[in-house]
Amino acid sequence: MKKSINLFKNIIFSNFRRLSSPYKVTFALTYKCNLRCKICNIWKSQSLGEVTVLEIEKIFKKIPELNWVDLTGGEVTLRENSLDVVKVIIRNSEKLSIFHISSNGQLSDKLIPLVEVILKTGVIPVVNISIDGPKGINDELRGGTDTYVKSIETFNSLKKLRKGHYHLSCTISNYNINYIDELLADLSRDVSRFSYSDIHFNVFHNSPHYYNNEGIDGLSGLDLGILKTYLGLRKKGSLFKKIIEDKYVKGVFVYLKTGKVRAVKCQALNSSCFINPQGMVYPCLIYNQTMGNLRDQDYDISRLWNSPDVFMVHGKIKEKACPDCWGACEAFSSILGDINGSLKMA
Ligand code: SF4
Ligand code: SF4
């Protein structure tokens, strides 16, 4: 309860001022991946020199306001000591309330123990299992064998756990938009007690330093009418969820029509940031602007967070001189961190 209050307090404060340290950190644990998706080249990125468990401990000891961590990859379960990493993050983040993991769901036997560890601590696990199409199409788009079957098995296992929030996550692009009806039909058959709130739809983004997918065109020719139907499925659930999802969907359409999201202030470097597997800090997954390496700062994020260079980049983000994206990773903290701007989104 105390942790939830602290998260709520930081969300409210982030509406009015820059926090003294981030309350939300996205941490890419590894760029290794066992899939070869058509829209993502993370697996081609550098996987040498990843921060060790000892270094991760030092980093998380020094993020005093951390309430919400996003552990992502590559594929987090490929990191040989991922269980130790999860334990170390929780042990050293006394205000941690939400532990989000993104996974491709291919290694259920490695992912489920991570979630069980989180559940034992009272921190809320939020896990997204990616899926981009019906059975055959998913294998084709994700560059693997039985990828659909493995993801569904993992998701069904997660749904059996007593607490936590578990979703399938589908990134819509021009590669898969024509197969979403088929995907939904397959999910109705294969997911236990399937409902539309089990699946989240996001939209393709380019990012040179994260997805490593410059030159891949995932948006041309996307039919916005069809897209609207699928994104509309996000607006199911509680009233709070409906309102937040409604704002997210509106932002997607503003972004796709104009290439910009002017109405809402982004929370990157105001209350959140991204750390890559080698300890480099960036504002987010999309803006390719390095802030420095935590290894050169005694693993102390506050030193970077409060440096003139970071203030300068934060100023650029406020002026929307960044790519001004609407990636799901930052969109939700931005909706919550700029309630005024979000309410103005028509
Ligand atoms: S989208 Fe995910 S699963 Fe696919 S290659 Fe990129 S990191 Fe791997
Ligand atoms: S608007 Fe997008 S690109 Fe710009 S800082 Fe925020 S998340 Fe990054």
Structure tokens belonging to residue 115? 């979630």
Return phi, psi of residue 329, to 5°: -60, -40
For ligand 2, mutation pick of 284, 310, 334 (most atoms within 8 Å of CB) = 284
Highest mean pLDDT among 190-194, 229-233, 340-344 belongs to 190-194
* Sign (positive or negative) of CA dihedral 280, 282, 288, 291: negative
The H or E element that residue 69 is part of is strand 68-72
Minimum-distance ligand 1 atom for the alpha carbon of 171: 1
Distances (CA, A) of 78 to 43, 145, 247: 12, 17, 34
Reply yes or no on whether the pLDDT at 240 is more than 70. yes
Distance CA 53, CA 239 (A): 40
Q: How far is the CA of 104 from the centre of ligand 1 (A)?
A: 7
Q: How far is the CA of 29 from the centre of ligand 2 (A)?
A: 21
Proximal ligand: closest to the CA of 175: 1
Q: What is the pLDDT of residues 311-340, one digit of tens each?
A: 999 999 999 899 888 877 788 888 888 887
Is residue 327 within 8 A of residue 205, CB to CB? The reply is yes
Is residue 102 within 8 A of residue 328, CB to CB? The reply is no
Q: How far is the CA of 286 from the centre of ligand 2 (A)?
A: 6
Distance CA 74, CA 202 (A): 18
**Ligand 2 close to Cβ of residue 19 (< 6 A):** no
Q: Mean pLDDT for the chain? A: 92
pLDDT, residue 236, reads 65
Q: How far is the CA of 315 from the centre of ligand 2 (A)?
A: 12
The ligand 1 site (C-beta within 6 Å) comprises: 33, 35-37, 40, 42-43, 73-75, 104, 130, 142
| Amino acid identity, position 289 | Q
Is residue 151 within 8 A of residue 106, CB to CB? The reply is yes
Name the region of 218 (left: φ>0; alpha: ψ -120 to 50; beta: rest): alpha
Q: How crowded is residue 85: how many other Cβ atoms within 10 Å of its Cβ?
A: 23
Give the percent of the chain with pLDDT over 70.
Answer: 97
| Amino acid identity, position 295 | R
Is residue 268 within 8 A of residue 317, CB to CB? The reply is yes
Proximal ligand: closest to the CA of 285: 2
Distance CA 12, CA 6 (A): 10
Chain length of the chain: 346
Exposed, middle or buried, 307 (CB in 10 Å: 0-12/13-18/19+)?
middle
Burial 52-61 (b: 16+ CB within 10 A, else e): ebeebbbbbe
Is residue 176 within 8 A of residue 132, CB to CB? The reply is yes
pLDDT, residue 112, reads 98
Q: Average pLDDT of 10-29?
A: 94
pLDDT bucket at 179, cuts 50 / 70 / 90:
very high
Q: How far is the CA of 156 from the centre of ligand 1 (A)?
A: 21
Name which of 127, 129, 169, 333 is nearest 244 in CA terms: 333
pLDDT, residue 249, reads 82
Distances (CA, A) of 216 to 35, 43, 175, 219, 283: 17, 15, 11, 9, 22
Minimum-distance ligand 1 atom for the alpha carbon of 36: 5
Q: What is the pLDDT of residues 258-316, one digit of tens each?
A: 877 767 889 999 999 999 999 999 999 999 999 999 999 999 999 999 999 999 999 99
**Ligand 2 close to Cβ of residue 330 (< 6 A):** yes
Q: How far is the CA of 151 from the centre of ligand 2 (A)?
A: 29
Q: How far is the CA of 210 from the centre of ligand 1 (A)?
A: 11
Q: How crowded is residue 139: how many other Cβ atoms within 10 Å of its Cβ?
A: 17
Q: Pseudo-torsion of CA 278, 284, 288, 289, nearest 10°?
A: -80
Q: How crowded is residue 151: how many other Cβ atoms within 10 Å of its Cβ?
A: 25
Minimum-distance ligand 1 atom for the alpha carbon of 74: 7
Q: What is the pLDDT of residues 35-79, one digit of tens each?
A: 999 999 999 998 899 999 999 999 999 999 999 999 999 999 999
Is residue 40 within 8 A of residue 211, CB to CB? The reply is yes
**Ligand 2 close to Cβ of residue 301 (< 6 A):** no
CA 134-140-143 angle, to 5 degrees, is 120
CA 284-286-291 angle, to 5 degrees, is 50
**Ligand 2 close to Cβ of residue 291 (< 6 A):** no
CA atoms within 13 A on the CB side of 183: 28
Q: Average pLDDT of 86-115?
A: 98
pLDDT, residue 132, reads 97
Minimum-distance ligand 2 atom for the alpha carbon of 287: 3
Minimum-distance ligand 2 atom for the alpha carbon of 284: 8
Distance CA 74, CA 130 (A): 12
Reply yes or no on whether the pLDDT at 243 is more than 90. no
Q: How far is the CA of 315 from the centre of ligand 1 (A)?
A: 32
**Ligand 2 close to Cβ of residue 285 (< 6 A):** no
